């Protein structure tokens, strides 16, 4: 959610802020704004609703805003409707307008997160003479910082610390003070923010891609930490105001990895990157036929239960993992939505391992679930894609997927990397539990996945034709049994989140328990049917929907040609061990969702109402 950027150095800040914000558009937003300082002159604040181009046009690409220190923001509305007055940055002064233009305010700031006790704080501030021009919780934080800064004559670090002690909720804050014209102050709690430095200049951002054009040396700010940022230097502090030593981290991917490379959309580029991502993630932990995980063998040997906790597509990867782990290793698995797990009162098995999955490593509910599990005394392993993220730092053990930056809101390659991590964990558990004697045949199967994904991608024009034919539909159903059912969840999500077509996934055997009443003439049903023991039963369920008028598209393994007599359209995937079929069946489903969205003229990379990472509850 929301994007934050900041810059202080020797170049004009506004063009840099705009470029950095453009790299964060995938996070989702409804308005944008920047604030720029030019020495001792008043701060210039400019805001605009809608797309970032509207803001850019207001300031002629940044050329009309002068100054070498500034902050910027793309807002996702939570408190207060999308509008210029509610857009960030916010100012501490008692403005009669929107807080835009030249402002003499002591404090200017941008905020990502939610302040839960903002009404209580607002009432306190109003009693002390503050007036509010917006309907946001963020303006409260800015004015509270100003209150402590001026009333108690504190320095910026102490004023921010004093404010954060009073605040309940989540925040990533980027603050400028009138008395410190070339400095930016940053603080975070449960919302991501990073700092980068290069050649006498410093950068702030919500995510790495925003500043990759300028530096690959970044600092990850820990929870409840602050930073003072000056040109080319950064100092970190805890809530007591004591300075904290911190080492920079080199970002493992380049700026080029976050470009489209000739593809029309990031999503299509990332779909095509999946063979490499699968190969790289596999080889990151499998060397010379041996699986080397950070999780110690004695931890895995002694578990009686596995809890997999995640949100969205990561949850779907966990569902696939449940089937594979229970089949291969015989370890009982429960897959929980992080947003539910954190509030459940269930009794947890003390001999369990909790596995949390998150692409960004900052997903709010998943992070909260991790902390809950640790409070309960359970070991936590994290499967994440972002090195140094909050979940990676707080987990006991980490399995990094090697997907590189994923820009499109709808995940593709990160999901495929998560599937590989599930397979590897299953094989490792099976070896330790003596459910299998030799991992070589299974690892050999995994080695074939990249080339088999490439085979499917060669047939994408056929799926494009099919998508164009059905782009007008209002409803779609995805059916499967076992692993195919788990895979269908991700296919259905891809359809609905980018094409806006209502879509549901069901265990095929459940269709007749009510949902079949929704089947009408030409209703689209996508059947995933790759499991040999379940093949005939699933086919029977598909035929039953066809008899009610449904148009059936089936995804199955090559060689199962008998299915063609019973369905309208068939996509064949290369033959693979059935346990790993989800890595192949998901490819045509990703392509189907993509081409449906393109045919409907939609913004594939930035679907409405969605953000790449959900960092607030």
Q: Confirm if 548 and 427 have CB atoms less than 8 A apart.
A: no
Query: How far apart are alpha carbons 26 and 509 in whole angstroms?
Result: 37
Q: Which residues contact 123 (CB under 8 A, 6 or more apart)?
A: none
- Catalytic, out of 23, 413, 428, 612: 612
Q: Is the peptide bond before 89 cis (omega within 30 degrees of 0)?
A: yes
- Catalytic, out of 2, 95, 174, 311: 2
Strands 225-230 and 217-220, by their bridges, are unpaired
Rounded to the nearest 10°, the torsion over CA 292, 298, 301, 304 is -120
Q: Confirm if 279 and 453 have CB atoms less than 8 A apart.
A: no
Q: Is 612 a catalytic residue?
A: yes
Q: Which residues contact 461 (CB under 8 A, 6 or more apart)?
A: none
Residue 352, H or E segment: strand 352-358
Show the 3-state SS of 494-512: HHHHHHCCEEEEEEHHHCC
Q: Which residues contact 305 (CB under 8 A, 6 or more apart)?
A: 331, 332, 333, 334, 349, 351, 352, 353
Structure tokens at 252: 């493992």
Euclidean distance between the first and final Cα of the chain, in Å? 11
Query: How far apart are alpha carbons 240 and 157 in whole angstroms?
Result: 9
Annotated catalytic sites, by residue? Answer: 2, 612
């Amino acid at each position: 959610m929301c994007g934050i950027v900041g810059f202080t150095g020797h170049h004009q800040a506004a063009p840099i802020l705009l470029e950095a914000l453009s790299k964060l558009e995938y996070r989702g937003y409804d308005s944008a704004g920047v604030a720029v300082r030019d020495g001792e002159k008043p701060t210039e604040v400019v805001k605009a609703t809608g797309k970032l181009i509207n803001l850019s046009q207001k300031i002629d690409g940044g050329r009309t805003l002068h100054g070498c220190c500034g902050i910027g923001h793309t807002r996702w509305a939570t408190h207060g409707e999308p509008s210029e007055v509610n857009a960030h940055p916010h100012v501490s002064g008692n403005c009669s307008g929107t807080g835009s233009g030249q402002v003499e305010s002591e404090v200017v700031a941008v905020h990502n997160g939610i302040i839960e006790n903002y009404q209580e704080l607002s009432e306190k501030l109003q009693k002390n003479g503050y007036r509010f021009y917006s309907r946001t919780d963020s303006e409260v934080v800015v004015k509270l910082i100003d209150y402590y800064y001026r009333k108690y004559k504190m320095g910026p670090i102490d004023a921010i610390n004093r404010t954060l002690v009073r605040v309940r909720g989540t925040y990533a804050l980027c603050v400028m003070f009138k008395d410190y014209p070339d400095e930016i102050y940053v603080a975070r709690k449960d919302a991501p923010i990073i700092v980068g430095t290069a050649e006498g200049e410093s950068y702030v951002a919500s995510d790495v891609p925003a500043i990759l054009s300028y530096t690959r040396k970044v600092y990850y700010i820990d929870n409840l930490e602050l930073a003072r940022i000056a040109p080319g230097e950064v100092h970190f502090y805890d809530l007591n105001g004591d300075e904290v030593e911190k080492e920079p981290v080199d970002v493992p991917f380049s700026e080029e990895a976050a470009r489209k490379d000739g593809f029309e959309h990031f999503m299509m580029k990332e779909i095509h990157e999946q063979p490499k991502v699968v190969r790289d993630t596999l080889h990151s932990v499998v060397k010379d036929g041996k699986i080397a995980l950070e999780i110690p063998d004695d931890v895995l040997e002694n578990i009686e239960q596995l809890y997999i906790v995640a949100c969205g597509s990561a949850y779907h990867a966990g569902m696939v993992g449940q089937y594979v782990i229970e089949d291969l290793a015989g370890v009982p698995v429960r897959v929980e939505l992080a947003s539910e797990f954190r509030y459940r009162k269930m009794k947890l098995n003390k001999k369990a391992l909790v596995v949390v999955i998150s692409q960004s490593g900052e997903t709010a509910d998943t992070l909260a679930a991790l902390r809950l599990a640790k409070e309960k005394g359970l070991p936590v392993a994290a499967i994440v894609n972002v090195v140094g993220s909050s979940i990676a730092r707080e987990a006991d053990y980490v399995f990094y997927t090697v997907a590189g930056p994923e820009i499109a809101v709808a995940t593709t390659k990160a999901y495929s990397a998560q599937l590989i991590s599930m397979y590897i964990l299953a094989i490792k558990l099976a070896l330790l539990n003596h459910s299998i004697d030799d991992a070589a045949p299974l690892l050999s199967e995994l080695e074939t996945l990249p080339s088999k994904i490439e085979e499917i991608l060669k047939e994408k024009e056929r799926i494009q034709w099919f998508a164009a034919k059905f782009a007008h539909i209002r409803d779609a159903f995805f059916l499967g049994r076992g692993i195919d059912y788990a895979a269908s969840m991700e296919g259905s999500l891809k359809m609905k989140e980018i094409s806006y077509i209502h879509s549901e996934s069901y265990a095929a055997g459940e269709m007749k328990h009510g949902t079949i009443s929704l089947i009408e003439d030409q209703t689209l049903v996508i059947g995933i049917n790759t499991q040999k023991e379940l093949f005939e039963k699933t086919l029977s369920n598909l035929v039953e929907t066809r008899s009610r008028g449904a148009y059936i598209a089936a995804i199955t393994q090559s060689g199962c040609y008998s299915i063609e007599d019973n369905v309208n359209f068939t996509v064949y995937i290369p033959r693979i061990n059935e346990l790993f079929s989800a890595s192949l069946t998901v490819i045509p489903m990703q392509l189907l969702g993509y081409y449906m969205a393109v045919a409907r003229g939609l913004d594939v990379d930035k679907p409405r109402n969605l953000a790449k990472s959900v960092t607030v509850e």
